Amino acid sequence: MTTIERETRETRIRATISADAATTAIDTSVPFLDHMLQALARYTGLGLTVTARGDLRHHVIEDVAICLGKAFAAYAPPACARYGDRTIPMDDALVHCALDIGGRPYYAGPLPSNMYDHWMRSFADNAGATIHLRVLRGRDRHHVVEAAFKALGLALRDALRETEAAVFSTKGAATFRAEP
């Protein structure tokens, strides 16, 4: 289980990830974000507990992405599969997500919603993940964004799967040391 808390003058966020999918409880004060995080939890197969309050909808959405990104980065086991790739059809929408949770942040979209495109970028930056989202089809923004969260969830499920091998990289484990 991993918990990240973030408090600023603008927001108060608490995000927990656990292996128990039954523990999912989302309350961000932004109904559509709650809906997307419920989908993310369901498709990752993990428990997500997120509470968030803030002054502006934009600040809440962005800071939840930051906290969840940091939580996923801390939650990922060192010997995980690392890569995930999924495509989700949802009514008129067809969205593909390919990702690498190997510590190199990068995001390529876009989604047809600036706010949720920004969510994905903030999540990728803080998760240390490379995330490529391709909207292959879709007219309804709700369907496209929801398909993106579902594709991200399934790709994360694959990437977080523990493997028998050591760190899944030709470089091995990267270590960093800071000196005062």
Q: What are the residue ranges spanned by the domains of the chain?
A: 2-160
**Higher confidence at residue 178 or residue 116?**
116
Is the Cβ–Cβ distance between 80 and 163 less than 8 Å?
Answer: yes
The pTM of this model reads: 0.91
Q: Which residue, chain included where needed, has tokens 């927001």?
A: 11
Confidence of residue 180 (pLDDT cuts 50, 70, 90): confident
Give DSSP secondary structure letters for 121-172: HHHHHHHT-EEEEEEEE-S-HHHHHHHHHHHHHHHHHHHH-B-SSS-SSTT-
Mean pLDDT for 11-30 is: 97
Q: What is the pLDDT of residues 25-78, one digit of tens each?
A: 999 999 999 999 999 999 999 999 999 999 999 999 999 999 999 999 999 998
Q: What is the pLDDT of residues 75-118, one digit of tens each?
A: 999 889 999 999 999 999 999 999 999 999 999 999 999 999 99
CATH fold group of domain 2-160? Ribosomal Protein S5; domain 2 (3.30.230)
The strand pair at 11-18 and 2-7 is best described as antiparallel
Is the Cβ–Cβ distance between 123 and 131 less than 8 Å?
Answer: yes
Residue 11: predicted pLDDT = 98
